[in-house]
Amino acid sequence: MRTSTLAACCAAALLLAGCSDAGSEPEAAPTVEPVTSAAAPAAEAASAAPSALPSAQPEELGFDAQVLDRLAQDAKAAGSTCFLVARDGKVAGEWYWNDGAPDKPQEVFSVTKSVTSTLVGLAAADGDLSLGDSAADYIPEWKGTPSQEVTVRNLLSNDSGRFWSTESDYGTLLQAEDRTSYAVGLEQAAPPGTTWAYNNAAIQTLDRVIRNATGTATAEYAQERLFGPVGMASTRMTPDASGSSTQAFFGMQSTCPDLARFGQLFEQQGEWDGEQLLPRAWVKDAVGRSSQELNAAYGLLWWVNHDGPQLEPVEEVGDAARSGQLVPGAPAAMYAALGFGGQVVMVDPGSGTVVVRLGTLGTGASPTAGAYSLANAARVVTEALVD
C-alpha cells in the first residue's frame, strides 16, 4: 500500500505542476551549471552571494566546514537549485546551481501550507479568528451541514474529515478554475477528528477562512502581515485561474534566502527585529507538538519529528501502520515545511539551525524518500554540527 501510494503521490504532483496557472508555473527545467556559493568553501565558489541574513564562517557557527561542503555537494547531486545553512541567524553556507539564484523565486509546492498556517496564526493573534471556531463561521455554505462541526484547527491538523481521494485532490481540484469554490463544495466524509489525510482540498478552504476573517485577500494579507515585515522580498502567493482565490495548499513562489528568513522567524519563537510578530504560543502550537493523535509526524500544517504513529502524504489512518519518528536519530524537536520535489525548510530549535533546500522536480515524492528529503537536511545537524 505504501509503495503504491507514494508512486501515486509522485505522479499526482507532476500533474499538479502541469495544471498550474501561469502565476504559479514552476521554472522551466534548469541547466546543470553551478552559479555561486557563500561562506562555506565549496569547490565552485566564485563570489559571495547576496543573502537575506548576515553570514559568518562555518567554524564560527560550530560547523565542520568540510562536512558542510560535502553535504552541499550531495544536495547538488540531487538536482538542487539552492542549499542554505544558517545558525543563530547567520548564514554558514549558501550555494546555487542549475540556474538558481538568491533573487530568483521558484515554485515551492507544499511549503506553501506552512505559510498558510502562519497566516492563520497571525489572524488569530489579531483577534480575527480563533482555532476553536467553526470553519462555517467563515464558510457560510457549511452552516447547517455536517461540516459545521469542522473547526479551523481541524483544517490545520488535517483531521477535518472532509472528502479526500487522489482523483479529487490531485486531479479535479487542480483542473478547477476556482479551486477554493471547488474545495468548499466537497462533502463531509467523516466526523472531524476521527481520520487523518493529507487533504489539499480541505487546506485550500483556509483561503476562504482567511479572506472572510480578515477582510483581505489571502495573498495581500501574506504580503502585509508576513512577507513585508520579515523581508521576504522575492516571495509571493499566487492566484488560481479564476483570479478570485489564492492558492493555499501550493503555488507559492520563493527563494532560499527568503525561506531562511521564514525558518528563522520560527527559530526565534516568532520574534523579528525586536517585535513579537507571531505569538510564542502559536509557534509552540504549530511546531512544538503533534496536532492530533492519528499522525505524530504532523503539527499545524508543519511536519514534526515526534515519536508515534506515522503517516505520509497519500496515506490515511489504517494504511501500513508503523510507529517511530519521521527522521529516526534526528532531534525530536526538529520540524519542517516540506514540498514535492524535495523542497525543505528545516528548523532545529535545539541548535538554532535552519536549513533550506530547493530543487528541480522529480527528486522526492515524500518527506522520507527520494533523491532529497528531510533526512538529508537533518544531516546538517547530526553530522556537520560539532559545537
pLDDT at 312: 83
Spell out the alpha helix ranges (H) of the chain: 2-18, 65-77, 111-125, 152-157, 166-167, 173-175, 179-184, 200-204, 206-214, 218-222, 228-230, 256-267, 280-287, 374-379
- What confidence score (pLDDT) does residue 318 get? 65
Q: What is the pLDDT of residue 371?
A: 78
pLDDT digits over 126-138, tens only? 999 999 999 999 9
User: Is the residue at 194 inside a domain?
Assistant: no
Tens-digit pLDDT profile for residues 310-354: 998 877 666 665 899 999 999 999 999 999 999 999 999 999 999
Which grid cell is 36?
Answer: 555561486
- In the predicted model, what is the mean pLDDT of the chain? 87
Amino acid 23: pLDDT? 36
What is the total count of domains within the chain?
1
pLDDT-based confidence at residue 361 (cuts at 50, 70, 90): low
- pLDDT score of 71 more than 70: yes
Q: Which residues pair with 308 in a beta bridge?
A: 324
Return the C-alpha cell found at 197: 489525510
Instruction: Specify the higher pLDDT residue, 194 or 30.
Output: 194
Q: Strand, coil or helix: what is 69?
A: helix
The answer to the question of residue 60 being in a domain is: yes
- Tell me, what's the pLDDT at 52? 64
Distances from the Cα of 280 to the Cα of 114, 121, 227, 283, 375, angstroms: 16, 10, 18, 5, 27
CATH of the domain at 284: 3.40.710.10
Q: Residue 364's pLDDT is what?
A: 43
State mean pLDDT over 299-304.
98
Is residue 197 domain-resident? no
pLDDT at 63 over 60: yes
Please tell me the pTM assigned to this model: 0.89
Domain that holds residue 229: 2-111+216-384
Mean pLDDT lowest among 2-11, 35-44, 245-254, 285-294: 35-44
User: For 336, which DSSP code?
Assistant: E
Please answer whether residues 342 and 363 qualify as being in contact, where contact means their C-beta atoms are separated by less than 8 angstroms: yes
Is residue 16 situated within a structural domain? Answer: yes
At 120 the pLDDT is 98
Amino acid 46: pLDDT: 29
pLDDT single digits (tens) 77-97:
999 999 999 999 999 999 999
What would the DSSP string read from start to end of 254-313?
Answer: E-HHHHHHHHHHHHTTTEETTEE-S-HHHHHHHHSS-SSSS-TTBSSSSEE--SEE---T
Q: Is residue 142 part of a domain?
A: no
The pLDDT value given to residue 36? 38
Q: Residue 238: count other Cβ atoms within 10 Å of its Cβ.
A: 19
pLDDT at 223 over 90: yes
In a domain, 54, yes or no: yes
Determine the pLDDT at residue 313. 85
The pLDDT, as a whole number, for residue 152 is 99
Q: What is the DSSP letter of 242?
A: T
For residue 140, which phi and psi values (nearest 5 degrees)?
A: -55, -30
Mean pLDDT of 44-71: 79
Q: Do the domain assignments include residue 181?
A: no
Domain assignment present for residue 104? The answer is yes
